[in-house]
Structure 1
């Protein structure tokens, strides 16, 4: 099995071989859903290779890898919420906002994303609501960015534009969060994407950043151990499937939470979950990571989040979350 971090180099190689290349990322359409829809004409036609997501299995980590060419261990933007030293607080990188509010960051997008964009010279197709964002202004520097209203509209452009055209689609992920990946709505949103892409006949690479699994229970860690908030040095980072805690005594927190949560979650040192930690990840990474069991999420009562309403989520290490794929048609 290859890894998602190898994808930028593969795209470069394919772009050198083809005058036209479509690159499509279906957010959250992981390997489990390729197997679910394995008889679809598009998937039967593609040359498919299973791939492993990076940890955490989250959009921020993977989009930043795709746009910078760096693995998460080097670029350091590892989750929906993560500590940013330039701000001195936990932020939401893709929203370019402080973690506890919608206030914009007091830095430039180029300071958050300081690498040359690998999208330079390409055409980038983004859903209209996120086509013009501060994060995107740095991540897509040098690219032609076009917003679209419907996925079908965007797919129709893939065979018309020269060079590399990159299409990002977030509706499968959003539907999974709202309805759950076992829902009929998730199935239909997946089929909508596959049906549209089946009409493309130019060279095309299709992939996903991660998968999703159904969730139904939230464990509030401070209700299991009331002393936990006193040990926090910053607000929580990560998300409800991989809750990262900045704390003053990691070993104590791991011991106390592990004893109380029992089968509900693993509690690990965060630095043990990566095979390598570069300087940027090290200065952003929290001390402890709580990895809930399948079907569960983790939170703290003092830090409310919309994630507690989710019926599907990702970020952890289960195969449903962390196994993805790369498909190609010449």
Structure 2
């Protein structure tokens, strides 16, 4: 069904979840998911290592990286599948937990949380479009912090760390996924690299994640096809390459990778949806998800076909609909044990956009018209690079 619409299902045997399994195996830690099928030269990268550093650049797709890398020269690169939805909340959580979205339950930027009875911005713990983290205290009382890679490392007496920007080191999402991690905040790239240089000069064994969110932010503003985005990606990769060539110890594997890619969205195919639009009468609350995919929470199950018909008639050939059961059964969210809140969080219907279409729901009325987006299942969104570096 997806292939007929130009969409690609995530490959959960060659995904970021499988890479995490491969990394954990280096330290004798068993995962519930198979390892990434690395072949040839890549198997040698794990010989004699004490540490793995994972530099996670948000919003860097594989196809765009291959284009930019022509002028940079990274050699050891593999193509890795992201998860669904192709968005930071779901994919970064998979990176930090080694679990699929089906298992970890953080399934998008905006989700209905039964625990608090409202749709919620899952990064900031607030109502969509409202500043201030108004749900933060309630969520921290009612949602459990996720079991993660750092728990597994700690059980083995190993180091598990995260470097992230100081402004988000205590965000709602960070609270949920950083349990038992040694968290270090940075302010600028120079600060990040100085801290990393110091950490690499010290004696420890384990894994260190570095999260860089600015490329994704620029991609949303300007779009991934803009000169600004491409120049920023090149600048960032050159700076990292120069650093590892000078400071990377011989016992450390350095991996540059991402959570998802991104697509350029023309204004003409970015459709704004209002709370007064007729389809809202079919819903129990506003939709969740992203601009490139949405979850719909129906007031009654029989509203599925009328909702689907509304979008087919008003926005022909722009999206595909699946029931939530279909989405789970075809494996969109991956294998594994289903999270107990999954159905509550994804609702009754899943909408996935095709091509360069997007839907911006006006929760507050102040939403931006973004030039770059992700969340759907096009090739540019699903596949990310993983660059392996040893010295």
Aligned to 1:287: 348
* Pairwise CA RMSD: 2.4
Query: Which of 123, 126, 131 matches 1:94?
Result: 123
- Spell out the pairing of 1:194-209 with structure 2 (5 A cutoff): 194-198=237-241, 199-200=243-244, 201=248, 202-209=252-259
| Distance across 2 between alignment mates of 1:95 and 1:287 | 24
2:308 pairs with 1:254? yes
Deviation at 1:23, TM superposition (A): 0.9
CA contact (8 A) 2:223 2:265 kept: yes
Query: Which of 116, 119, 126 matches 2:164?
Result: 126
Most deviating of 120-129 and 95-104: 95-104
State the structure with more CA Rg.
Answer: 2
CA contact (8 A) 1:211 1:322 kept: yes
- Spell out the pairing of 1:49-198 with structure 2 (5 A cutoff): 49-102=78-131, 103-109=134-140, 111-120=142-151, 121-156=159-194, 157=196, 159-161=200-202, 162-163=204-205, 164-198=207-241
CA contact (8 A) 1:57 1:209 kept: yes
**TM-score, normalised to structure 1's length?**
0.89
Change in Cα spacing, 1:183 to 1:260, as seen in structure 2 (3 Å) is: same
Aligned to 2:327: 273
CA contact (8 A) 1:81 1:93 kept: yes
Q: How many residues align?
A: 326
2:272 pairs with 1:220? yes
**TM-score, normalised to structure 2's length?**
0.76
Deviation at 1:12, TM superposition (A): 1.1
SS at match of 1:125: strand
Query: Which of 63, 72, 75 matches 1:32?
Result: 63
Most deviating of 240-249 and 169-178: 240-249
Change in Cα spacing, 1:237 to 1:42, as seen in structure 2 (3 Å) is: same
| Distance across 2 between alignment mates of 1:4 and 1:174 | 21
* Structure with greater proportional strand content: 1
Deviation at 1:243, TM superposition (A): 2.2
1:166-195: CA deviation from partner (whole Å, max 9, x where unpaired): 100001100000111111211122112211
CA contact (8 A) 1:244 1:290 kept: yes
SS at match of 1:283: helix
Any unmatched runs of 5+ in structure 1?
none
Most deviating of 309-318 and 156-165: 156-165
Deviation at 1:40, TM superposition (A): 4.4
| Distance across 1 between alignment mates of 2:313 and 2:283 | 18
Deviation at 1:304, TM superposition (A): 3.3
Change in Cα spacing, 1:114 to 1:149, as seen in structure 2 (3 Å) is: closer
2:21 pairs with 1:21? no
2:260 pairs with 1:210? yes
Change in Cα spacing, 1:170 to 1:15, as seen in structure 2 (3 Å) is: farther
CA contact (8 A) 2:128 2:364 kept: no
Deviation at 1:21, TM superposition (A): 1.8
